[in-house]
Structure 1
Amino acid sequence: MTREFTVSDSVVVNASARELYDAISDPTRMGTWSPENLGAHVTNPRETTYVGMEFDGRNKRGRAQWVTRSTVTVADPGKAFEFRVFAIGVKSPRIKGANATWRYDFETVPEGTRVTETWTDDRRKWPDAVSLVFDKIVTSGKTFPQFQRRNIAKTLDNLRKHYA
């Protein structure tokens, strides 16, 4: 089985690209849409999101809870927002290493804005067999691409409903 490193999906939302960018690029609000994220704490907040901004995200899956640390790598208002998860831990993000990149692209269309959410597995140094076993343990039998495909669909649907 060939390992899949990127999963993406899109939805059209009845809101402007800038309005959606402002909402999604605020990591403290991600828990509003995401089925796993509970929100975040921005380390050095400013009025708007900026490249290099770091934040700690709180997450849960079933009874498991963990914290991640991420850094914003793209902050292009109304066009794109991206961050990389580079540390993880149970109560604080102590274990450092490439984890994942999350990206949101915004395209104005006649019905509003097409929002595309993309997850990229940054665990490139992990052997395929190790990642497959790990993924199936922490996702109850799925690979991370399969699991994230479902999470992305739920996040985008929740976003669409929020602005309906």
Structure 2
Amino acid sequence: MPRLRTVTDSILVAAAPAAVYAVVSDPTRTPEFSPENRGARTGSTGSLPVGAVFTGDNERRGFRWITECVVTAADPGARFAFRVRAIGGARRRLRTGIASWEHRLEPVTLPDGTAGTRVTQTWTDERRMPDPVATVFDAVATRGPFADFQRRNLATSLHRLKTLLEGPAAAEPTA
């Protein structure tokens, strides 16, 4: 069976799309909600435009790596996306398709009648390796299928983002 290459999850947030966009489009803020990202270097401050390149510092179970990413979509208040185009240690980076990440923001009316945003986060596996090789790699790197691991990561990221934007009372899922 071929591996699942795309995982998507959504959550409702009691914040305007512009406020959500300000957070998700600034990679230096990603550690505030990501379970793996530990920081980013962007060369600028705030939201990044299409074509901007940034470096992410990541960690999983004590293993650290660096990613080089390029912004592929920057539509304020609506969509922010980037592609991971290199991965590796501080000096050696494998330049190949790794993954793409996207945040889509949709204005909504929340169940209590107030304005908010549906945040949809999508991860797409862009690794160019045969499925049997990916299965072995994934078992070592994530203790199972990478898509299952990323499904949990997306849920964690979205709930942390909700808490960040709404405050500690927002810890319970709403979508």
Corresponding position of 1:56: 55
Equivalent residues, number? 161
Structure 1 pair 24–93 and aligned structure 2 pair: CA distance change class (3 A): farther
Q: TM-score under structure 1 normalisation? A: 0.94
* RMSD between aligned residues: 1.2
Q: How far apart are the structure 2 equivalents of 1:39 and 1:101?
A: 18
Q: Is the 8 A contact 1:36 1:61 kept in 2?
A: yes
Partner in structure 1 of residue 85 of structure 2: 86
Q: Distance in 1 between matches of 2:91 and 2:34?
A: 20
Aligned to 2:87, the other structure's residue is in SS state: strand
Query: Among the aligned pairs, what percent are the same residue?
Result: 45
Partner SS for 1:85: strand
Give the SS at the match of 1:163: helix
Q: Whole-Å Cα distance in 1 between the matches of residues 47 and 151 of structure 2?
A: 29
Q: Matched residues in 1 for 2:80 and 2:92: separation?
A: 22
Find the counterpart in structure 1 of residue 40 from structure 2. 40
Larger Rg: 2
Q: Which residue does 1:138 correspond to in 2? A: 141
| Residue 90 of structure 1: how far off its partner (Å) | 1.9
Alignment of 1:1-164 (within 5 A): 1-42=1-42, 44-45=43-44, 48-92=47-91, 94-111=93-110, 112-123=116-127, 125-139=128-142, 141-164=143-166
How far apart, in 2, do the equivalents of 1:78 and 1:4 lie?
29
Please say if residues 68 and 92 of structure 1, whose CA atoms lie closer than 8 Å, have aligned partners that are also in contact.
Answer: no
Ranges in structure 2 where 5+ consecutive residues have no aligned partner? 111-115, 167-175
Aligned partners of 1:68 and 1:93 also within 8 Å: no
Indicate how the Cα distance of structure 1 residues 66 and 17 shifts in structure 2: closer, same or farther if over 3 A, else same. same
Following TM superposition, the consecutive aligned residue runs of length 4 or more in structure 1 with deviations greater than 6 angstroms are none
Residues 38-78 of structure 1: CA deviation (Å, up to 9, x unaligned) = 12001x42664100000000000011011000000000000
Q: Which amino acid aligns with 1:161?
A: T
| Secondary structure, aligned partner of 1:99 | strand
